Amino acid sequence: MIAHRRLTGLLFCLPWFIGFGVFMLFPMLAALYYSLSDYSVLLPPVFIGLENYRELASDALFWKSLSNTIYYAIGAVTLSLMTSLTLLASMAPFCFRLVPGTEAMIPLARALVGGMAVSTVLTLFLIPCVWFLVKRRQQVAV
């Protein structure tokens, strides 16, 4: 009976395991293999070991892009998200009337929560997309 229940549980988990293998595990392993290979679309990959990473480490443009990414990730995103999420967490009780005696603050709280929610979405999605398009247009113009 216990073996039957275990098998039933595994069968219920099987779609997740298949999805994980197809959409996560296989692409990660393929990316690792191709990163260690000299790969052209028309030719089969040739294993070259860590040569791609050695070439990447000697590229000045890679280090510049890495420093820009770290600067953006730590500076812009972290500070913006900390500010907006702190304000959202502190004003949410006022929005839903969870704090008695603060009926006068409800419009202000809803305006702040709405504005911070919109700014969070802008910071995470819209601004990076627009930045990418502007940079791409500058590169095409040059």
Q: Give the C-alpha separation, 82 to 114, whole Å.
A: 16
Residue with the bigger pLDDT between 23 and 141: it is: 23
Residue 38 host element (H or E):
strand 37-38
Residue with the bigger pLDDT between 89 and 52: it is: 52
- Contact of 106 with 97, CB cutoff 8 Å: yes
| Model confidence pLDDT, tens digit, residues 58-90 | 999 999 999 988 888 787 777 777 877 787 787
